[in-house]
Amino acid sequence: MDTKSFIKKFATHPNYKSPTGNILHAKSWQTEAPLRMFLNNLDNEVAEDPSNLVVYGGSGQAARNRDSVEKIIDVLLNLEDDESLLIQSGKPVGKVRTHSQAPRVLIANSNLVPEWANWEHFEKLKEDGLMMYGQMTAGSWIYIGTQGILQGTYETFAACANKHFGGSLKGKLLVSGGLGGMGGAQPLAATMAGATFLGADIDPERIEKRLKTGYIDKMTDSYEEARDWVLQAKDRGMNVSVGLVSDIGDLLEKLLEDDIIPEILTDQTSAHDPVFGYVPNGMSLSDAYCLRKNDQAEYKKLSLTSMARHVSLMLEMKSRGSITFDYGNNLREFARQGGEVDAFSFNGFVPDYIRPLFCEGKGPFRWAALSGDPEDIYTTDRALIEAFPDNKDMISWLKQAKEKIQFQGLPCRICWLGMGEREKAGIIFNDLVKQGKVSAPIAIGRDHLDCGSVASPNRETEGMIDGSDAVSDWPLLNLMSNTAGGATWVSFHHGGGVGMGYSQHAGMVVLVDGTERAEKCIKRVLHNDPAMGVFRHSDAGYDIAKEHSKKFNLDI
Ligand code: NAD
């Protein structure tokens, strides 16, 4: 199929769809895989706003503009196995000579020299058409819809249950803000962990999307109705989730007035971007869009003040008994800038719940069935259950996931796996492809929020015991290891999760196409990638990581 016909069929803006089946459109699966995953990122079922090429996380894009989309498609359709495409902030800028085990796409998104690394400078460049915001998996083409964050969120809530509530959230109320691309995983993760959930989002369309995909049970714009629903459910120990159309600060204020103190409190509004993400208190959505266009300085001021109010209400809840944590959106930093001096009086979720997993090289391993056939994912689920019979948490997750998760776009699965486990899973999947037990190749990747791939002092690397929170040599080493090891595409981004100036992180995807070439790449990449988490945490002095370093012969 020539490029024009391909675009007409799969990429007529804003209707993007990945091809499915096992017939190639590109010259090999090494280039078909990034092509399919790129289009999948923009699929209406997957992306939050395909008409603006926005995938998730505020303004996280898959490509810079429509010309770039078409050019990326054209190059990938024609790329040879000894060439690699270069992407600079969502724009294809050239091809370099490489070899068959090298990455086919090399991506750098949103990177700025530290002194200039702020939203103001970035927005100016964006306006001039020179950059785009890649978030984490938006610009690196491995976003898999809300499921991607679901297991991580479930792990966090389950860890919170183990730490504070004897392992069960039955009869406990969990309150949060933001039901967008990532935040929309909270209601389902909370109910899977047994809790009653109440979440606020200012945008009704976002909650409707969660209703449609089965991530939330009920929706209302009446505070009283939402309150009564959740109190009743909580009393009966029912795991029900409710989405309220409201500003999150207003919801917290009303709950406090009614003396309703949730057992757990967090937030996933798009606070990382005070201008194009967070909506200031008291403002309608249409007024917010208007002010964003006309006076960004005024918008930012209002946004920071609202975040300060929001966090002060969270602090009040905390003082009255809520287990309160920041959920990785940099809310505390912007609340501090807005005048809440005690904003950092509660912790982020990583030091509280996730770091012990990072020390074992565990993180958000995910894969997509390029065939588009859900049966392929169920086959991989069964293969993992068979291969890891002692991993009860993983087995319980995979069973619940099969039952409760509707696929968005290409069928995908996420499952947190650690050092040793990821490589084993990759080899098993490669055998499944080789033996024809799945109907087309599989793409294995992960979030940039992983054990050794990110420096983000207000999130993944908050409160490291050796004080190395801001050292970003680690994600660069991760990028270099995955490039040298032969991932199929690699990426290095700035500002994901927490916004410009606050994070640097690397991504990778490796193709599983049943070949010997793939097996070699898998054995290197899926060993090196989690090993980076063990190196990073062992070097920082964490005992669990030191033990894992010994166990896997990683000591030098
Ligand atoms: P998103 O832009 O898709 O959704 C954000 C939602 O917040 C929107 O629906 C918006 O309407 C809502 N919102 C904004 N201001 C509000 C307010 N005042 N009151 C109520 N609702 C409001 O973003 P997303 O992908 O869901 O990500 C949310 C945040 O979580 C981002 O900051 C992102 O960087 C961060 N994040 C966290 C993790 C993690 O693991 N914890 C992972 C990825 C992203």
DSSP state string for 35-75: HHHHHHHH-TTT-SBGGGTEEETTTEESSSSHHHHHHHHHH
Q: Using the mean position of ligand 1's atoms as its centre, give its distance from the Cα of residue 179 in Å.
A: 7
| Three-state helix/strand/coil letters over 415-478 | EEECCCHHHHHHHHHHHHHHCCCCCCCEEEEECCCCCCCEECCCCCCCCCCCCCCCCCHHHHHH
Which of the four pLDDT bands, split at 50, 70 and 90, describes residue 152?
confident
Tokens 């790329």 -> residue: 79
Tokens of 80: 């040879």
Q: Is 514 in the pocket of ligand 1 (CB under 6 A)?
A: no
pLDDT value for 393: 76
Tell me if 269 CB under 6 Å of ligand 1. Answer: yes
Q: How far apart are CA 122 and CA 116, in angstroms?
A: 8
Domains in the chain: how many in total?
1
Range of the domain at 174: 147-346
Q: Which atom of ligand 1 is nearest to the CA of 203?
A: 11
pLDDT for the residue 269: 97
In this structure, is residue 281 part of a structural domain?
A: yes
pLDDT of residue 290 exceeding 80: yes
pLDDT tens digit sequence for 409-419? 999 999 999 99
181 CA to centre of ligand 1 in angstroms = 7
Residue 175 lies in a domain: yes
Cα of 377 from ligand 1 centre, angstroms: 28
Q: Residue 128 has what pLDDT?
A: 98
Distance CA 126, CA 449 (A): 24
> Within a domain: residue 205?
yes
Which helix (DSSP H) or strand (DSSP E) does residue 511 occupy? strand 504-512
Whose CA is closest to atom 17 on ligand 1? 247
Query: Average pLDDT, stretch 177-198?
Result: 94
The one catalytic residue among 359, 415, 451, 521: 415
Report residue 394's pLDDT band, with 50, 70 and 90 as the boundaries. confident
pLDDT digits (tens, 9 = 90+) for 108-139: 999 999 999 999 999 999 999 999 999 999 99
Average pLDDT, the chain: 96
Closest Cα to atom 2 of ligand 1: 58
**What pairing do the DSSP bridges indicate for beta strands 442-446 and 363-369?**
antiparallel
What DSSP element (H or E) covers 505? strand 504-512
Q: CB of 311 closer than 6 A to ligand 1? A: no
**pLDDT band for position 397 (cuts 50, 70, 90):** confident
Distance 74 CA to ligand 1 centre (A): 33
Asked if residue 241 belongs to a domain, the reply is yes
**Residue 1 pLDDT class (50, 70, 90 cuts):** confident
- The CATH number linked to 262 is 3.40.50.10730
141-155, 186-200, 218-232: least confident range:
141-155
Pick the range with the lowest mean pLDDT from 121-125, 389-393, 427-431.
Answer: 389-393
Does the residue 322 lie in any domain?
yes
Helix (H, G, I), strand (E, B) or coil at 349: helix
Q: What six digits make up the tokens of 54?
A: 């926005």
Mutate to test the pocket of ligand 1, among 150, 182, 221 (most ligand atoms within 8 A of CB): 182
Q: Which residue has the tokens 């002010």?
A: 291
With a 6 Å cutoff on the Cβ, whether 179 touches ligand 1 is yes
- Residue with CA nearest ligand 1 atom 33: 497
34 CB less than 6 Å from ligand 1? no
Residue 105 domain flag: no
Our mutation pick for probing the ligand 1 site, out of 160, 246, 270, counting the most ligand atoms within 8 A of Cβ, is: 270
Q: Which residue has the tokens 């949103």?
A: 110
155 pLDDT above the threshold of 90: no
In the chain, pLDDT over 70 holds for what percent of residues? 100
Residue 94 buriedness (CB in 10 A; 0-12 / 13-18 / 19+): exposed
The closest residue, in CA terms, to atom 34 on ligand 1 is 497
**Any atom of ligand 1 within 6 Å of the Cβ of 449:** yes
Residues in the chain, how many? 556
Residue 271: CB within 6 Å of ligand 1? yes
Percent of the chain with pLDDT over 90: 93
Bridge partner residues of 412 (DSSP): 368
Atom of ligand 1 nearest to the CA of 331: 32
| pLDDT band, very low/low/confident/very high, at 213 (cuts 50, 70, 90) | confident
Residue located nearest, by CA, to atom 40 of ligand 1: 328
| The pLDDT of residue 148 | 82
Q: What is the pLDDT of residues 36-86, one digit of tens each?
A: 999 999 999 999 999 999 999 889 999 999 999 999 999 999 999 999 999
Q: What is the pLDDT of residues 431-467, one digit of tens each?
A: 999 999 999 999 999 999 999 999 999 999 999 999 9
**What pLDDT, on the 0 to 100 scale, is given for residue 396?**
82
Give one DSSP letter per residue of 182-233, joined into a string: TGGGHHHHHHHTT-EEEEEES-HHHHHHHHHTTS-SEEES-HHHHHHHHHHH
Q: And the tokens for 555?
A: 């000591």
User: In this structure, is residue 290 part of a structural domain?
Assistant: yes
246, 268, 272: residue to mutate for ligand 1 pocket, most atoms within 8 A of CB: 268
Tell me if residue 359 is catalytic: no
In a domain, 313, yes or no: yes
Query: Can you give the pLDDT at residue 164?
Result: 96
* CA–centroid distance, residue 57 to ligand 1 (Å): 6
- Say if ligand 1 is within 6 A of residue 460 CB: no
Q: Cα(554)–Cα(309) distance, rounded to whole angstroms? A: 47
Helices (H) and strands (E) in the chain, counts: 20, 19
